[in-house]
Amino acid sequence: MQLALRKGRYSARLAATQQDVAAAQRLRYLCFISNRGLTGSGPGPDRTPDDARDCDAFDDRCHHVLVEEAASGTLVCCFRLLELADGAEIGQSYSAQYYELSALRSYGGRMVEMGRFCIHPAWHDPDILRVAWGALARIVDQERIEMLFGCSSFNGTEAEAYRDAFTVLAQRHLAPKCWLPKVKAPDVFRFARLFRRNKPDARLAMRGMPPLLRSYLVMGGWVSDHAVVDRDLGTLHVFTGLEIRAIPPSRARLMRADAT
């Protein structure tokens, strides 16, 4: 896998060293733990508080994508990618810890799991997300990926705060039955059962959707019928899938334009 992309103020590249990976882990800690007022597992015995990191066993198996401000080299966004040859390897994914994914084992195409996506909380430029998706589009084409998947997270664990968003997901964006994930985690919120017949406020629904999930949905993505309650990270997350062939041609052209 190769990546070197420059668009306007920002550039995207793959982590090349352990120092690059550590920088991504520090940004993840800032976004997922300290910025949410959580404590996490702390900086570790060999690290200072400023070197606290979010890391797990999947990091060594993944490619890490870094989006930086080109002039300063400041890391403003990162995510990681786990490549799978096909659905037979779905049990090796991070998502498989939380969702029963046996329906996807028969998927015959190459897959990639996108995880730990975050943007530095002090940076609000929408071009950062565009560059991130452009980098992903280049990798998808380069590696001939046929399905992109992962977990999309809502801040907080109170599902009622996202009633409109979950109603829209239940009514318009559930996974096809042939791929639908089943319940595995002990603490879940079955929004498709509870909110399917609600009348959502579309404006509030879109406001409540995480930006990454909104991007998936406009490209034809789909979600599980339940959300996993992750009290360690203080989030609700839904399994999210996107078959590359389902992306509308106009959206695909925009993504590839961002990838060049």
188-189/227-230 β-pairing? antiparallel
Class of domain 4-258: alpha beta
Rounded CA gap, 63 and 183, in Å? Answer: 28
CA quadruple 215, 218, 221, 224: dihedral positive or negative? positive
Structure confidence by residue, pLDDT tens digits, 113-158: 999 999 999 999 999 999 999 999 999 999 999 999 999 999 999 9
Task: Indicate whether 165 pLDDT > 80.
Answer: yes
**CA gap 63, 15 in Å, rounded:** 7
Does the structure show a pLDDT above 90 at 84? yes
**Higher pLDDT, residue 53 or 251:** 53
Token pair of 14, please? 């793959």
Mean pLDDT rounded to a whole number for the chain: 91
For residue 16, how many C-alpha atoms fall within 13 Å in the half-sphere facing its CB?
5
* Residue 229 token pair: 């309650």
**Under 8 Å between Cβ of 170 and 238:** no
Q: What is the pLDDT of residue 92?
A: 97
Is 40 a residue whose pLDDT tops 90?
no
Structure token pair of residue 136: 């992903």
C-alpha 227/C-alpha 2 separation (Å) is: 34
Domain ranges of the chain: 4-258
Q: What percent of the chain has pLDDT over 90?
A: 79
- Per-residue pLDDT band for 193 (boundaries 50, 70, 90) equals very high
DSSP assigned state of 190: -
pLDDT of 196 reads 80
What pLDDT is stored for residue 44 in this prediction? 44
Query: Helix 249-258 and helix 126-143: axis angle, to 10°?
Result: 100
- Helix 211-218 with 126-143: angle, nearest 10 deg: 50
CA angle 239, 245, 247 (to 5 degrees): 70
Predicted confidence at residue 50, as pLDDT, reads 66
Q: Whose structure tokens read 């799978």?
A: 84
Smallest Cα–Cα separation from 78: which of 90, 62, 57?
Answer: 62
